[in-house]
């Protein structure tokens, strides 16, 4: 059984870490290099860097910043935002990323998943799925949560796994930033549907929420942002509590 991972996410806008609620109301949260170094020291298992406006601004991920962060940390580092070609993915791995996260580009051209997987290996390919519950179903959104697609979340997750993704980063837009807990229903559905690891994202507010997602779904990772950025939850205390609950973690 895969041990559970605690993952910190840094949403980057204009070179700074930011955080929003339900993908809007964006606020500054700090310097990415300083935060990344702090997380590595505190014992975070993995770090995710998402350049959240790269796609809508039609530009590449901030590769120089990726390189600087990678040189300062010794934990697995996933990078996403504006990646639309195999060549861009390769450049980011050369800059120090361990894994590449794609979202909108994969929706537009699903073959990109296979191309990057064949070049770098499936273990390097994370497909981020932003999902929103409305009209009785979970729908996939693209462009940083701005555009609703015709894709249903569970079916899209199955498709990206088939195409060669090594992992899914599943973010509930309904729960994002609310600190009221992860979306257990869709996380459970997706994690049951696919055989690749699923990271739960959106809604973490306290230690109990991590317990819930690990005890009630097959998610192998749980991601949070603001509660770690602002020191509301201690990484060491979170891990100790999970261990006390007999949840196998890294």
Q: Check the CA dihedral 65-67-68-69 and report its sign.
A: positive
Angle of helix 111-120 relative to helix 86-95, nearest 10 degrees, comes to 40
Tell me the two tokens of residue 209: 């929420």
Examine the pLDDT at 228 and tell me if it is beyond 80: yes
Q: What is the pLDDT of residue 4?
A: 97
3-state secondary structure of 89: helix
Reading the block at residue 218, the tokens are 């097959």
**Of the residues 11, 45, 51, 176, which is catalytic?**
11
pLDDT digits (tens, 9 = 90+) for 45-95: 999 998 866 554 555 567 888 999 999 999 999 999 889 999 999 999 999
State the catalytic residue, choosing from 45, 51, 98, 130. Answer: 130
Using DSSP's 3-state secondary structure scheme, residue 10 falls into: strand
Give the per-residue pLDDT at 56: 47
Over the chain, what is the mean pLDDT? 91
| 11 tagged catalytic | yes
Q: How many CA atoms lie within 13 A of 247 on its CB side?
A: 25
Report the alpha-carbon distance of residue 13 to residue 133 in Å, rounded. Answer: 26
14 is catalytic: no
Query: Distance between CA 163 and CA 160 in Å, rounded?
Result: 5
- In the 8-state DSSP scheme, what is residue 249? B
Q: How far apart are CA 59 and CA 35, in angstroms?
A: 24
- Tell me the whole-structure pTM to 2 decimals: 0.92
For 92-133, what is each residue's pLDDT tens digit? 999 999 999 999 999 999 999 999 999 999 999 999 999 999
Burial grade of 155 (CB within 10 A; 0-12, 13-18, 19 or more)? exposed
Q: How sure is the predictor about 20, in pLDDT bands with cuts at 50, 70 and 90? A: low
Residue 243 tokens read as: 């261990």
């Amino acid at each position: 059984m895969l041990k559970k991972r605690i993952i910190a996410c840094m949403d980057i806008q204009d070179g700074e870490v930011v955080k929003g609620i339900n993908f809007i109301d964006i606020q500054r949260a700090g310097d990415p290099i300083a935060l990344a170094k702090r997380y590595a020291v505190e014992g975070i298992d993995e770090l995710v860097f998402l350049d959240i406006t790269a796609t809508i601004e039609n530009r590449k991920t901030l590769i120089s910043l990726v390189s600087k962060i990678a040189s300062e940390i010794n934990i697995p580092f996933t990078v996403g935002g504006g990646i639309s070609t195999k060549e861009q993915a390769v450049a980011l791995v050369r800059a120090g990323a361990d894994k590449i996260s794609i979202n909108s580009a994969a929706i537009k051209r699903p073959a990109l998943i296979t191309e990057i997987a064949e070049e770098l290996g499936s273990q390097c390919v994370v497909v981020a799925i932003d999902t929103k519950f409305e009209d009785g179903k979970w729908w996939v959104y693209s462009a940083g949560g701005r555009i609703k697609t015709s894709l249903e979340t569970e079916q899209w997750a199955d498709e990206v796994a088939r195409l060669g993704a090594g992992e899914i980063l599943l973010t509930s837009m309904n729960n994002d930033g609310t600190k009221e807990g992860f979306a257990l229903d869709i996380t459970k559905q997706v994690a049951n549907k696919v055989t690749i690891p699923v990271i739960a994202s959106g809604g973490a507010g306290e230690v109990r929420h991590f317990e819930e997602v690990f005890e009630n779904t097959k998610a192998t990772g749980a991601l949070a942002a603001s509660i770690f950025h602002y020191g509301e939850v201690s990484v060491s205390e979170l891990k100790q509590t999970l261990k006390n609950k007999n949840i196998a973690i890294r």
